Structure 1
Amino acid sequence: MVRTKLCGLGTDADVRAAVDAGADALGFITDVGVDTPREVIPERAATLAASVPPFVTTVAVTIPESVGGAVDVADRVDPDALQIHGEFSPDEVREIRERAGVDVIVALDADEPDRARDLDGAADALLVDSLSDDGAGGTGETHDWAATRELREALSTPLVLAGGLTPKNVAAAVETVDPFAVDVASGVERADEPGRKAHDALRAFVREASRTAETGTA
């Protein structure tokens, strides 16, 4: 069954709603160096992550400038996993894994299949997204799911699908790509308050992501 990561959580209420929705992982965006309403300072990310119950994975999402910067975020937030954006080499990813002592998810653009192949085996998971020019996610844009399916079949590392997912399209995305997990941020947010989550949308996303597995169509 596909796993779900609900990302960009910044309030206690949103964390509780994401847990109640049945998410497998929660993402906390910190120290990214870009303008986003989803960012929280590392200390706040640590507090939110510490409030998450057992058996739900916490993920610190960051855009570090160096291996040391990535390790510093892991040390300050103390997550179960670290999601890094940026042009890190396979050897640098391995170093981050070793020094941080947590699973490392590398985010990359859907237009970088060769880089995904280079990182295969270096990271614990590869997150394929529709990234902005500065390497950030949350763009709300989808990409070629059929091509991502081909990439997923060529990789040994688990693939996480992101980019423009919503409760309305996630079931089709799962059916097409058959990823290890799906990741959403902007697709479950309130229209009246950027960065804050619509709790009914969180529930709907998790439900719809699981629907193909329940019907046996994936």
Structure 2
Amino acid sequence: MTVRAKICGIRSRKDLEMVVSAGADAVGFISGTTHYSEDALSADAAAELCAATPSFVNRVLVTHLEDAHAILDLADRVGVDTIQVHGLVDRDTLRAVHSAAHGRTIVRAVHVTGADAAARAREIAADCDAILLDSRTADRLGGTGRTHDWSVSARIVHELALIGRPVILAGGLNADNVDHAIGAVHPFGVDVNSGVETDTGDKDFTACAGFVKTAHESDRGRPVPVPRRRAPELQPTGSRR
């Protein structure tokens, strides 16, 4: 099964057109932030880019917001297909978002800062449609450009496969290391932001295309988790108008 590729941190029409041309399965718009991100957008800017996204590409809201109503209101305003809960929310908040998602898939970020990430992923897996494993620093919840311990990520993939919960790998990925990362972790999908940018923070077409091509050609024939519901943020929905 082909590994899905998401490119996050889309902040302009040029970025959007570039990553769509590169073949990305999903695009991420960062809005509603509590920690630093160069790619943060206003709700209106994110909504404009969402509306310009072709129907075969999945649109993902990546947000740090920690209140369920605020998260859902922002998702409605932007008009996305998937909500990536990337903030420091508790399980009750995640459950509330998931139960009121109205057909949207919910992806919960887990920061792999040690072996205890496996327990956190197991605990919240029932309250979302997929887990995204990312790196973090003291002031950043994503976009760190740093990898984490892939052996922990691989263990999480193995354990969550038993309940049919897909895992998406992020954190320090780029076109040069994504093949190795896939071979080490066997994720359902991979997610990149800073690893495909120029020095000015704009998306680089060659890097984006290389990342997507490598992801799509890697891991062919290897088993990956089969979700209970439709595949989450990395599959095109074909349902938008």
Question: The TM-score by the shorter chain falls in which range?
Answer: over 0.9
User: What aligned pairs does 1:6-85 form with structure 2 within 5 A after superposition?
Assistant: 6-85=7-86
- Alpha-carbon distance in 1 for matches of 2:101, 2:218: 35
What is the one-letter code of the residue matched to 1:124?
Answer: D
2:129 to 124, 127, 146: 124
Amino acid at match of 2:190: V
- Cα deviation for residue 53 of structure 1 reads 0.9
- Alignment match, 1:149: 154
Alignment partner, residue 110 of structure 1? 112
Instruction: Give the structure, 1 or 2, with the largest relative contact order (CA under 8 Å, sep 6 or more).
Output: 2
| Percent identical | 38
Q: Deviations over 1:37-90 (max 9, x none)?
A: 211101110110111111210001010031122112111111000111233333
C-alpha displacement of 1:217: 7.4
Asked whether 1:168 is paired with 2:176, we answer yes
Given the alignment of the two structures, is residue 159 of structure 1 paired with residue 160 of structure 2, yes or no?
A: no
User: 1:162 Cα shift?
Assistant: 0.3
Q: Which residue identity is paired with 1:189?
A: E
**Structure 1: segments with no counterpart, 5+ residues:** none
C-alpha deviation, 1:148, in angstroms:
0.8
- Map of 2:216 onto structure 1: 210
Distance 1:217 1:160, change over 3 A: closer
- Sort the Cα spacing of 1:57 and 1:116 in 2 relative to 1 into closer, same or farther, 3 A: same
Cα RMSD (Å) of the superposition? 1.6
Tell me the residue number matched to 2:226.
none
Contact 1:125-1:159 within 8 A present in 2 as well: yes
- CA drift of 1:134 comes to 4.4
TM-score, structure 2 as length reference? 0.84
Which moved further from structure 2: 164-173 or 128-137?
128-137
Match of 1:90 in 2: 91
For residues 69 and 110 of structure 2, the distance between their equivalents in structure 1, rounded to whole angstroms, comes to 20
TM-score by length of 1: 0.93
Where does 1:132-147 land on structure 2 (aligned, <5 Å)?
A: 132-134=137-139, 136-147=141-152
Structure 1 stretches of 4+ moved >3 Å: none
**Which structure features the higher share of helix residues?**
1
Aligned length: 215
SS at match of 2:38: coil
Secondary structure of the equivalent of 1:209? helix
| DSSP-derived class of the 2:126 partner | coil
